[in-house]
Amino acid sequence: MKDIFDIHAKKIFWLTILIAQVLGFLLFKDLADVSQWVVQSPRETTIWVWYNRWAIAFGAIATMAIAGYLKYRQRDIVGNKAFITLTLFFCFTFYSGMINPHIMMRARMDNGVFVSIKEAKKYVNPYESVIVLEINGKARAHSDKQLLRPHVAGNGELGGEHVVMTYCGLTNLGMAYTPEINGQQLDLAPMSQLENNLIMFDKNSGEPIQQLWGQTESDYNAGSEARMREWPTFRMPFEKFAEAYPDGEVYVNDYLVEDMRPTFWNNPFLAIYDPMMELIFKLAVAHQATNEEPTFPTLDHIDTRLPSKALIHGLNIGNDYVAYTEEFVKEQAQPINTTIGGRAVVISYSKEFKSLGIFYNSTGKQITDIDFFGQTQHGKLPRVETVKAGAFWVIWANFFPETDINRV
């Protein structure tokens, strides 16, 4: 009788250990973010795993627990070294998929730290490119380095509007949104990356939200127009931001900078963990910026009209998509007056502030002179809110393959 029990127990043990390992690896493969360096999944698979992650996690833990119980009851069912190795591998894949992303990418949607320009000079170099958000005369600057891991940064209202900055290092892109869709408030946090672009999720509903789309996965698949409101953003060197907006605020990552991050005595885990994660993220971003191929080979469409990692300013008005390179705009004798999506648009480069600006032109007049702030001989022009400033061409073209280039 005992022999029969031993045989069945062994079969059940290996079946449950196999199921646990498969489920743990599924969580790792699709939700661990950096795992896509090694193994890639179709978008549909990753989204399916995300929607079903709690059921998968429960199944993984339950089957691993059964295997552990059988090992406890029958010590010789498998060798100790083999069991420990299998357990550690399971812990690694489960932790990497279900837990680690939420620690290494701790969003700062409503508790971001913003400091004065004077204080920010301790953290941001004068020549560093910053992503600027200006609303009703109030301005904020966000450096790529400070945004790299939080991915989402804000602290309530700016200029009377609730707005957060979202950031993807793989796309080299900051986009500002009001975290709300159809009147429903969103609580945004990083989820992973898909096709080398940040995908967030709403903690309230669990819905994935692709940064470049600004809408939930379900709304996008249903062809719905529902999306977050996008705000104009642009780039300029930090020292030029300080000149243009002397009363501006600057975002600082409180778990990056030395005088804010946890010390070993405050939090030994984070004191060791954060520098390691920072190094991994820096390596990934450096690889993306310096190699022709995307860091994660998950792009469906490659467009060779521009170099893969050319930095472009992409925008759309309706279904009309256009990308401009800074070099092309600089070469023009005067501002570019063109039409995008049936609307008059002006594109210009400010030599004074080293910043490319794209503005709506509702004056009905040809613009021959425009400054950094949008002032013209016919009045001040508003910035186009859909501009993606300084994004990598290969990512922009993958998501928007119909894009035109350098339209005049």
pLDDT at residue 399 in the model? 96
Q: H-helix or E-strand containing 53?
A: helix 53-73
Mean model confidence pLDDT for the chain: 94
Q: Can you read off the two tokens belonging to residue 149?
A: 């891991």
Kindly report, residue by residue over 278-310, the tens digit of the pLDDT.
998 999 899 999 999 998 888 888 999 999 999
DSSP 262: P
pLDDT at residue 3 in the model? 56
Half-sphere exposure of 292 (CA within 13 A, CB side): 5
Beta-strand pair 320-325/404-405: parallel
Query: Helix count (H) and strand count (E) of the chain?
Result: 12, 26
Beta-carbon contacts of 258 under 8 Å, excluding residues fewer than 6 positions away, are: none
Distance CA 164, CA 152 (A): 7
Kindly report, residue by residue over 310-352, the tens digit of the pLDDT.
999 999 999 999 999 999 999 998 899 999 999 999 999 999 9
pLDDT at residue 1 in the model? 46
Spans of the chain, pLDDT less than 50: 1, 5
Distance CA 283, CA 287 (A): 6
pLDDT at residue 230 in the model? 98
Buried b (16+ CB within 10 A) or exposed e, 293-320: ebbbebbeeebeebebbbbbbbbbbeeb
pLDDT at residue 117 in the model? 97
Residue whose entry in the numeric block shows the structure tokens 């179709």: 42
pLDDT at residue 161 in the model? 96
